[in-house]
Amino acid sequence: MRRFVIFTDLDATLLDYSTYSFEGALPALRRVREEKIPLVICSSKTRKEIEYYRKKLGNGDPFISENGGGIFVPKSYFHFEPRCDECSLQEEQGYFVMGLGARYADLRKALETLRVEGFAVTGFGDMTVTEVARLAGTTIPVARMAKERDFDEPFVFEGGKEETRRLFDAITAAGFRHARGRFFHILGNSDKGKAVSILSGFYKRKYGEVETIALGDSPLDLPMLEQVDHPVAVGKPDGSYDPHLSEIPKLVRAEGIGPRGWNTAVLRLLQR
């Protein structure tokens, strides 16, 4: 029997942009739980942040942290030990942890080099917990978790279009990748799409035929949406959809903003 697997971003997708609530998605979440459909969080958030929301959601499925930098699989989840050729593998605190991203210490060094080169970049690692909370519009405890990073460094940069282009060129020349969502990001050779592809392979090994769904709202989600059978763009707070996602084949535009759009799209896909 064909099985669904859902991959989802959090911010402004399953979680409301301003309140970080998933209340608008509760009907679909109930159905996902009743039908035992795996719900894999795939976010720019850290492991601790995702675990915080997984607990609220009552979710026990694998998850993907920091824009594809890390894949966390509960040890008893699959009937086999998950492995991939391009991942490092560790066992810690009940998980198999597969690392795809760069070391955080190397990202911090790269950011410091960019500052020396004249780019006014400020990473989460340069900020206090209070500054991160104010910038992200979240609480102090959640901001503290957001600073405990492993594979990806969000940063702010106030340069214009030409200076931003030069910054991106400098990041590439240093051997790293850049991405942009709510914040700028510097990361290694990892993205959400690679991590989703790896986890999808594990689910196919477990279930056989699998039909994949992914929901996101920003350019950070583009690689993830390109990897699945049913890509869904969730509406932004102003009702628009990110133009970077418009070229994805078979893209569905959810009717609604944030978790309400998530709810409508998931229910319709499962009903079909």
Residues 159 and 197 in one domain: no
CA distance 154 to 149: 10
Residues 22 and 129 in one domain: no
Q: Which of 48, 47, 50 is nearest to 10 (CA)?
A: 50
pLDDT digits (tens, 9 = 90+) for 116-151: 999 999 999 999 999 999 999 889 999 999 999 999
List the catalytic residues.
9
Q: pTM of the full predicted structure? A: 0.94
Give the residue-averaged pLDDT of 43-49: 96
* Listed residues 187, 206, 235: the one ending a domain: 187
Q: What is the per-residue pLDDT for 83? A: 87
Contact (CB, 8 A) for 101 and 66:
yes
Indicate the helix (H) or strand (E) that contains 263. Answer: helix 258-271
Q: 134: Cβ–Cβ under 8 A, 6 or more apart, which residues?
A: none
**Confidence category of residue 205, pLDDT binned at 50, 70, 90:** very high
Report how many domains make up the chain. 2
- Statement: residue 221 has pLDDT above 70: yes
| Entry field: residues in the chain | 272
Q: 260: Cβ–Cβ under 8 A, 6 or more apart, which residues?
A: 24, 25
Q: 48: domain CATH number?
A: 3.40.50.1000
Residues 90 and 49 in one domain: yes
Domain of 139, in residue numbers:
104-187
CA distance 78 to 89: 15
Residues 176 and 259 in one domain: no
Rounded to 5 degrees, φ, ψ at 120 are: -85, 75
Look up residue 204 and give its two tokens: 């196919």
